[in-house]
Structure 1
Amino acid sequence: MDRRAIKFDWNRARAFLVTAEEGSLSAAARALDMTQPTVGRQVSALEAELGVLLFQRTNSGLILTQSGADLMAQVKVMADAATNLSLLASGHAETVEGNVCISATEMIAAFILPPIIEKLRKQWPKIEIEIIASSDTSDLSRREADIAIRNYRPTQQELIAKRVQNTRGHLYASKNYIQNLEHRQSPQDLNDAVFFGVDRSNRVISYLKKFGFDLSSSNFPVIVANHLVQWEMVKHGTGIGFMMSDIGDAEPLVERVLPTFPAFETETWLVAHRELKTSCRLRVVFDYLASELSE
């Protein structure tokens, strides 16, 4: 192969890939931290360079042409290779110092991580920690985070995962709210109670149905996606919400709604990109989190 004949601009290819993934030039510009005209020029330049039309411009947005779809499959391979090269190179070059980004739910970030991070920083003061507190799943392959704490087992082959201690939780309500409940012996006693939802779907209803609850959307008049905000509303007597047992039992303003009901258990997984095994600082943080979260 005559590699001198290859005239391919990776920056243009990356602009095309992110535009296709994000669905618009404006969204791609935000993802790449560039201006929209700059992204548009790079995509147009790639089209001119290759002599093909990559997108159809319609009133509803950008639509990949067949040529664009064919090219996108190849550019994805290039992007994965570039990411792996970056991961490998940075891992071998770094010692136990530098930035580590951890993604976790609001509850874990607020109640579980603070003492762990404090001890970790005392032991490795040159490690800088960034916390993403969100219930949304961070894309580790695109380096949205280095390490994630999740309540489900990952399925992607490029990820490594370690199962840590299961998370146990209960339904809680303020003592004032509980005084208004006549009975608290079984799930059926809560058919007229107010619960918190995280969105407008029926996921929570379906989940609780497995445990004998018979609820409908009318039981969820308050929707709060942020669990920390939801917990504050539980403490103020607005309704019933989930909380990890260790946190809920230690809060004097609330009680378990069903004191004798078994705990709800969810798996807790510590997840990282497979190539991060080559990074000393990430290996240190991963192993430390695994040890602390397993206790």
Structure 2
Amino acid sequence: MSWRAITYDWSQVRAFLATAEEGSLSAAARALGQTQPTLSRQVTALETQLGVTLFERGPRTMILTESGREMLVHARAMRDSAMKLSFIASGQSEEISGEVSITSTDLFAVHTMPPILRALREEHPNLRIHVLTSNQLQDLTRRDADIAIRHTRPMQAELIGKQVGTIDAYLYAHRSYLDHKGRPETPADLAQLDFIGFEAANVVLPVLSSMGLPASEANLPITTTSGPLYLELVKSGLGISILTRDAVEAVEGMEKVFPDAEPIEVPVWLVTHRELRTSRKIRVVFDAIADGLRKEL
């Protein structure tokens, strides 16, 4: 190879590429963090070295010549190779790898996460996913988890979220409970029945109140923070629950308390820390979960 034939340097090519893609020297200078005169000198030097005119210069714009358009194809290839070299040099291979932690309620994770994680593993085999199944809100501001699936909009300024959909929930009870206590015909009948509390009374009661259903802490003889136990308590005929169709479809004997009632719409939010969103690894996982949940919900 004749090394002496390469008489220009990468900074000149980068100046040309930025000017071509940004459309003007001023815009390219802002993108590269350089001054406009410096950038202009680099472009002119490249034209001199190559012996061609790359731009037709207007008062506000730089228009590529035919030689410039041909050069642009090769400059972009050089840019891509230079980026790969930078990734390797800094230990940041374009391959997505390392650990990402996700927190979700346990019942929701059971019914939605397996196909999403399978697709992620197939696409990025060196990625390690740690799923924290908890019904307590993990503190993303303290980095207890990288990404959270929540059912309320994030309120902290340092968190960013995207609502990816809603899930429909209904009042369910096991046949054995309804056979014993009777099937309510009106909301007023619920005042005499038991509900299984999830996390605490202050989580369930506002939902029931928003539906116009009379209930108080006296209607919640049992509460739990465990999703699987919550489902087992309902299966055992201990009270009425608020559950999604996915959670009960494989459970024999579960009935909707009011078959014709409108669903309780539960929002699904995907949340991460604002700073982490700039991480390519986090962005890839965040977007994959968002796409997967949209298909699942």
Q: Judge same fold: TM > 0.5, yes or no.
A: yes
Instruction: Find the residue that maps to 2:103 and give its secondary structure.
Output: strand
The equivalent of 2:206 in structure 1 is: 206
Is the CA contact 1:186–1:261 (under 8 Å) kept in the aligned structure 2? Answer: no
Is the CA contact 2:277–2:283 (under 8 Å) kept in the aligned structure 1? Answer: yes
Is the CA contact 2:103–2:145 (under 8 Å) kept in the aligned structure 1? Answer: yes
Q: Match of 2:291, as an amino acid?
A: S
Instruction: Find the residue that maps to 1:266 and give its secondary structure.
Output: strand
Is the CA contact 2:107–2:247 (under 8 Å) kept in the aligned structure 1? Answer: no
The structural deviation recorded for 1:211 is 1.1
Cα shift readout 1:161-206 (whole Å, capped 9, x = no counterpart): 1111112101111121122243333322222111111355444223
RMSD value, Cα = 2.1
In 2: Cα distance, 1:91 partner to 1:150 partner:
33
Instruction: Find the residue that maps to 1:110 and give its secondary structure.
Output: helix
Where in structure 2 are the equivalents of 1:105-254 lying within 5 Å? 105-199=105-199, 201-254=201-254
Q: Match of 1:118, as an amino acid?
A: R
Is the CA contact 1:184–1:257 (under 8 Å) kept in the aligned structure 2? Answer: yes
The equivalent of 2:289 in structure 1 is: 289
The equivalent of 2:85 in structure 1 is: none
Q: Match of 1:269, as an amino acid?
A: W
In 2: Cα distance, 1:165 partner to 1:206 partner:
21
Between 213-222 and 176-185, report the one with greater CA deviation: 176-185
Instruction: Find the residue that maps to 1:277 and give its secondary structure.
Output: helix
Q: Match of 1:135, as an amino acid?
A: N
Is the CA contact 1:249–1:255 (under 8 Å) kept in the aligned structure 2? Answer: no
* Structure 1 unaligned blocks of 5 or more: 1-89
Structure 1 residues 274 and 233 mapped into 2: Cα distance closer, same or farther (>3 Å)?
Answer: same
In 1: Cα distance, 2:287 partner to 2:182 partner:
48
Aligned-pair identity (%): 38
In 2: Cα distance, 1:246 partner to 1:201 partner:
24
In 2: Cα distance, 1:278 partner to 1:209 partner:
40
In 2: Cα distance, 1:192 partner to 1:102 partner:
40
In 1: Cα distance, 2:186 partner to 2:120 partner:
43
Cα shift readout 1:104-129 (whole Å, capped 9, x = no counterpart): 11111222112221222122111101
The structural deviation recorded for 1:91 is 11
Structure 1 residues 91 and 284 mapped into 2: Cα distance closer, same or farther (>3 Å)?
Answer: farther
In 2: Cα distance, 1:199 partner to 1:155 partner:
20
Structure 1 residues 199 and 165 mapped into 2: Cα distance closer, same or farther (>3 Å)?
Answer: closer
Structure 1 residues 164 and 199 mapped into 2: Cα distance closer, same or farther (>3 Å)?
Answer: closer
Is the CA contact 2:199–2:223 (under 8 Å) kept in the aligned structure 1? Answer: yes
Structure 1 residues 160 and 92 mapped into 2: Cα distance closer, same or farther (>3 Å)?
Answer: farther
User: TM-score, length-normalised on structure 2?
Assistant: 0.64
Is the CA contact 1:91–1:278 (under 8 Å) kept in the aligned structure 2? Answer: no
Instruction: Find the residue that maps to 2:184 and give its secondary structure.
Output: coil
Instruction: Find the residue that maps to 1:180 and give its secondary structure.
Output: helix
User: TM-score, length-normalised on structure 1?
Assistant: 0.65
The structural deviation recorded for 1:141 is 2.2
In 2: Cα distance, 1:194 partner to 1:115 partner:
35
Instruction: Find the residue that maps to 2:166 and give its secondary structure.
Output: strand
Cα shift readout 1:210-269 (whole Å, capped 9, x = no counterpart): 212112222111121212211111112121111112322343331111111111112111
Q: Which of the two has higher C-alpha Rg? A: 2
Is the CA contact 1:173–1:235 (under 8 Å) kept in the aligned structure 2? Answer: yes
Equivalences, count: 206
The equivalent of 1:59 in structure 2 is: none
Q: Match of 2:173, as an amino acid?
A: A
Is the CA contact 2:200–2:224 (under 8 Å) kept in the aligned structure 1? Answer: no
